[in-house]
Structure 1
């Protein structure tokens, strides 16, 4: 929305110029979001340090556990009906 109170129509040249001004005023990739994302990947970041392999094995294990529970539930349900 422009400072005057109304925004230019969506496909107009004025809207395109307004978007260009907004993008360049923000500073591009050196904005605040990039700085906060990079701190997750430093050694100084607080929290648990888990390797990607451990995360992969744990997620596959969780998927397998849920699948086994589904199969066991189906078998239990079939036996109760019979």
Structure 2
């Protein structure tokens, strides 16, 4: 049996075992796995502020509304200056 360019080695063979060893990622350290990094955001031990998603949503909507109000005030101020 001839393996193609991208075909995986047969299951249970020494080549498959070596391939799996190479693919394993280390968790921790500077490189750290993506899953380990994401899980740190949801633990009680994570450093930083503890803000619920609802608070973030309300703050972002408030910021958008504040910018919209500033745009409207700027337009009104500009119209009054020209008259």
> Which TM-score band (shorter chain)?
0.5 to 0.7
How far residue 57 of structure 1 moved from its aligned partner, in angstroms, is: 0.9
Separation (CA, whole Å) in 2 of partners of 1:12 and 1:81: 82
Q: Structure 1 segments of 4 or more deviating over 3 A?
A: 1-31
**Could you say what secondary structure the match of 1:49 adopts?**
coil
Pair 6,43 (structure 1): closer, same or farther in 2 beyond 3 Å: closer
Residue 24 (structure 1) shift = 11
Counterparts of 1:60 and 1:74, CA distance in 2: 21
Q: Aligned equivalents of 1:14 and 1:32: distance in 2? A: 24
Q: Which residue of 2 aligns with 1:22?
A: 23
Counterpart CA distance in 2 for 1:72 and 1:9 is: 69
Q: Could you tell me which runs of 5 or more consecutive residues in structure 1 were left unpaired when the two chains were aligned.
A: none
Provide Cα deviations, 1:21-74, integer angstroms capped at 9, x if missing partner.
979999999971111111111111000001111111111111100000000000
Greater percentage in helix: 1
Distance 1:18 1:75, change over 3 A: farther
What TM-score, normalized to structure 1? 0.61
Q: Which runs of 5+ in 2 are unaligned?
A: none
Q: 1:78 to 1:42 in 2, by over 3 A?
A: same
Larger-Rg structure: 2
